[in-house]
């Protein structure tokens, strides 16, 4: 059974950094296309990053481009999201997701291509 769990969330001051990890069980995350999403209170889910398994191409939402980096940690077997220059508007529950497909679809940010989801981890950016 494919399962995911996120780790690394917490409270950070504006301008600070956090690193989230997506930890798989029951499958090798290296062969899956992986995504990170977030949902803030009262807002719709937002796709923030996608990493293609076929060619390593990455995609980012404009809201995080230049600040967040998605990458595989092959030694640890995880997919991580390095978040820098955090802002209060980055406060949300962050979710990782896995897709059996080999690339990020053109509508990856909507989420339906992803087959498995983690339970989420809270990130709070506040002074």
| pLDDT value of position 101 | 82
User: Which residues have a Cβ under 8 Å from the Cβ of 41 and sit 6 or more positions away?
Assistant: none
Q: Whole-angstrom Cα distance, residue 95 to residue 105?
A: 18
| pLDDT value of position 69 | 98
| pLDDT value of position 87 | 98
Q: Within 10 Å of residue 34's Cβ, how many Cβ atoms? A: 28
Question: For the chain, which residues score pLDDT lower than 50?
Answer: none
| pLDDT value of position 38 | 98
User: Which residues have a Cβ under 8 Å from the Cβ of 42 and sit 6 or more positions away?
Assistant: none
Instruction: Find, among 18, 54, 50, 53, the residue nearest to 37 by Cα.
Output: 50
| pLDDT value of position 119 | 98
Q: 31, 43 in Cβ contact below 8 A?
A: no
Q: What is the enclosing helix (H) or strand (E) of 88?
A: none
């Amino acid at each position: 059974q494919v399962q995911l769990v996120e780790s690394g969330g917490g409270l950070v001051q504006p301008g600070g950094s956090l690193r989230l990890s997506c930890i798989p069980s029951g499958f090798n995350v290296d062969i899956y296309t992986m995504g990170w999403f977030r949902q803030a209170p009262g807002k719709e889910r937002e796709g923030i990053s996608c990493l293609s398994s076929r060619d390593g191409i990455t995609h980012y939402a404009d809201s995080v481009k230049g600040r967040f980096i998605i990458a595989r940690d092959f030694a640890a077997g995880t997919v991580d999201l390095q978040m820098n220059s955090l802002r209060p508007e980055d406060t949300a529950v962050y979710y990782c997701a896995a897709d059996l497909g080999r690339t990020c679809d053109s509508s990856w940010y909507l989420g339906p291509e992803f087959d498995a989801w983690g339970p989420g981890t809270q990130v709070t950016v506040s002074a």
